[in-house]
Amino acid sequence: MTDMAPAEVARRALPLVDLTNLDDACTTADIDALCARAVTPHGSVAAVCIWPRHVVQAASLLAGTGVNVATVVNFPQGGDDTLAVVAETKVAIADGADEIDLVMPYRAFVAGRRGFAEEQIRRVRAVCGEALLKVILETGEIGDPLLIHAASNVAIAAGADFIKTSTGKVKVNATLEAAEIMLTIIEELRREGGREVGFKPAGGIRTLDDAAAYLMLADRLLGANWVSAAHFRFGASGLLDALLAALDGREQTTAKGY
């Protein structure tokens, strides 16, 4: 595939961004600023992704913009208290969340408790209603490609609308290697006539080259027409700056791979 100009990569990536602030010290003023950035002169991001305590505020600020409000549950630890996670999800939905990013209990999964992990996801899915459910596998902590493959299948079987790489809170977050495993499973499911499942790389995606690499991978595996906000998101806090710089003509570096 020939190189694509930075502005072209940015134009394609901007509506796929889940603009994120999951800093422990995030304030209401930070949420005001985040929501203001979500609607740009070049178009809107797909969603903001924030702590549950800020959902009511963000939902009010973004009403009518078309930008969804995503929040995190069981985050970032991926703990085992399913009742608490279900209760947390119910509150988030009642507060106005459009999307739930659930950290699967990945330590339990790696320890061999796959049925427990699947049941937690199923129970969260059951209370999501119309909200999208993105299941965070924490691929950098799982590590083993075979286990990443298995975790993807467990999450999909339990009702995930998206499978997501990472919390962004561990040493190894999104990688192209994990992304290829996850996207291949999505492609196989699609080829077999199964339901559409989306993909979200998150953590460490900051540059045009980062975005281009994931878009190119998705195009190769699923076709150039597959990528849209309904099927693909970038979980990022810093990527939007690079995209806007390119769209404003302030980025000089060609995005390699396009």
CATH code of the domain in which 14 resides: 3.20.20.70
Predicted confidence at residue 2, as pLDDT, reads 44
Predicted confidence at residue 250, as pLDDT, reads 84
List residues with catalytic annotation. 101, 164, 200
Q: What is the pTM of this model?
A: 0.95
**Range list of β-strands (E), 47-149:** 47-50, 68-73, 99-103, 132-136
Predicted confidence at residue 187, as pLDDT, reads 98
Predicted confidence at residue 158, as pLDDT, reads 98
Torsion-angle region of 33 (φ positive above 0: left; ψ -120 to 50: alpha; else: beta): alpha
Token pair recorded at residue 53: 């305590």
Once rounded to an integer, what is the mean pLDDT over residues 31-43?
A: 98
What Å distances lie between residue 161 and 107, 130, 221, 232, CA to CA?
Answer: 22, 11, 18, 11
Predicted confidence at residue 252, as pLDDT, reads 47
116 domain residue, yes or no: yes
179 domain residue, yes or no: yes
Asked if residue 196 lies in contact with residue 190, where contact means CB atoms within 8 angstroms, the answer is: yes
Confidence label for 4 from pLDDT (cuts 50, 70 and 90): confident
Asked if residue 13 lies in contact with residue 239, where contact means CB atoms within 8 angstroms, the answer is: yes
Predicted confidence at residue 32, as pLDDT, reads 98
Confidence label for 5 from pLDDT (cuts 50, 70 and 90): confident
256 domain residue, yes or no: no
Q: Which domain holds residue 138?
A: 6-247
Once rounded to an integer, what is the mean pLDDT over residues 136-155?
A: 98
**Does residue 41 surpass a pLDDT of 60?**
yes
**Does residue 229 surpass a pLDDT of 70?**
yes
Token pair recorded at residue 244: 């806007």
Predicted confidence at residue 79, as pLDDT, reads 98
**Does residue 154 surpass a pLDDT of 50?**
yes
- Taking alpha carbons only, the member of 75, 79, 69, 130 closest to residue 102 is 75
Distance between CA 142 and CA 211 in Å, rounded?
Answer: 23
**Does residue 133 surpass a pLDDT of 50?**
yes
Total domains present in the chain: 1
Once rounded to an integer, what is the mean pLDDT over residues 57-85?
A: 98
**Does residue 257 surpass a pLDDT of 60?**
no
1 domain residue, yes or no: no
Distance between CA 31 and CA 133 in Å, rounded?
Answer: 22
Q: What is the dihedral of CA 243, 238, 45, 31, to 10 degrees?
A: -140
57 domain residue, yes or no: yes
185 domain residue, yes or no: yes
> 14-27 b/e with 16+ CB inside 10 Å = b?
bbbbbbbbbeeeee
127 domain residue, yes or no: yes
Compute the mean pLDDT over every residue in the chain, rounded to the nearest whole number: 95
183 domain residue, yes or no: yes
Q: Where do we find the tokens 């810093």? A: 238
Q: Which amino acid is at 92?
A: A
